[in-house]
Each structure stands twice: as structure tokens, then as C-alpha cells.
Amino acid sequence: MKLSGSTVLVTGANRGIGRHFAAVLRERGARKVYATARRPEEIDLPGVEALALDITDPDAVAAVVRVAGDVDVLINNAGIGGTEGLVAGDLGEIRRQFDTHFFGTLGMVRAFAPVLAANGGGAIVNMLSVLSWQAVTSAGGYAAAKAAQRSLTDNVRLELAGQGTLVSGVYLGATDTDMMAGWDIPKNDPAEVVRIVLDGIETDQFEIVVDEASAAVHAGLSGDVRSRYPELG
């Protein structure tokens, strides 16, 4: 997959990693970049086409497809944070996590898969999380939704292989964005995250593991549950 000369749509491009994607893609030679957000007026990047999009709204998704029929790379970056536990947390907030990360991503994939097929196959990039692989009680709703999004990524990769669409999942830990502003912990540089992801797309990687923390969690998945969660005793 070559990004130079491509047409790319980035969701959640008004801030954070999404904004970095939109900016760097132009530098990497993308012919056109559609930068989407619920409030497109917040997108102030030169050289991109800002579009209104709430990925949880099927009518809004359909409207964007009508405009962006030339897309050959879809970057599903839009997401929300959350600190809801699954047992006692607010069920409405947990549903919102799934509506955004699972059903929102799935809606975008379903809408753009025919577009990508018509344009030669292209690529879909789903921004996942280290929590796709790891449970955490302080954000159980978010982690569960990201785990579902990871499974979605694996399944649509198989379903779209026949039309030549590369489907990549990106795994990363805490990154220095507005969503993580209140956390005093080591964080990835979003510009470096974007560089790693775009390099991964151009080398046809199915799974792009951005940082050492994510790589360590992935490596430990084959271990005993107690080794992964020492708090179980």
C-alpha cells in the first residue's frame, strides 16, 4: 500500500492522533485527505477537506460516503475515553463505548468497503489499544469495547481479503493527547505514533504494535491468567 498519491479519510481528525494523521499524510504525499469530526469547524489544517461526521450516526456516515467516493485508505481513529467498570458502572456509558468503538467502526467499514473495492482494494486502519488485550477494572467498559473492536478487525480482515483490502489493527498504550491530559504517566509522542502507523501501512502490516508496553502485553497472552493479573493471587 503506497500513501503517495492516495486519498485518505481520517475520523476524529480535529485533535490528538487524528489531527497528526491528517497533517502528516499531506506531507507523505497523499493526493487528498478528508479530515472528519463531529465539529468540522475545529479542523484548522491547511490542504485538507473537513467533513462533518459522527460515526455513531448512520445518516452522517452515508452522507460522507456520498462525498468521499474516491477514498482508498480509511483510518478509523475516532474514539472516546471512559472509566466505567462493567459490574457497577453506568450501563448507558458502557453502551456508548460499544456504540462508538464497535458499532461506529463497523458502520464505517460496512459503508466504505464497497468504495475501497471499487478503487482497487486500498486499506483500512483501526486504531485499537493495549487494552484490546488487557482487562483493567478502572476502565472495563472501554477495554471491553476495544477488545470487541479488535475482534471486529480480525474478522473484517478475513472478509475483505478477497477484494484486496489491507486491514490493519494498531495497538498502543498511553499517548500524549487531550484524552490523556490528566494522567501523569509516561506517554507516547503522537507524531511518532503516526510515523510508525504510516510506515506499517506501507509495509502491509496486519498488526502494528506501537510501543514496548503493548508488545509486552501481547507477548504475555499465552501465559496463565494469574501471571497476567497478579492481583488474582
Active site residues: 142
Domains of the chain: 7-232 (3.40.50.720)
Distance between CA 127 and CA 112 in Å, rounded?
Answer: 16
Q: Which H or E element spans position 92? A: helix 91-97
Q: For residue range 114-138, what is the model confidence (pLDDT) as tens digits?
A: 999 999 999 999 999 999 999 999 9
* 164-189 residue pLDDT tens: 999 999 999 876 666 655 656 667 68
pTM to 2 decimal places: 0.93
Give the three cell numbers for residue 98: 460499544
Residue 49 pLDDT: 97
Burial class (CB in 10 A: 0-12, 13-18, 19+), 108: buried
Distance CA 1, CA 27 (A): 16
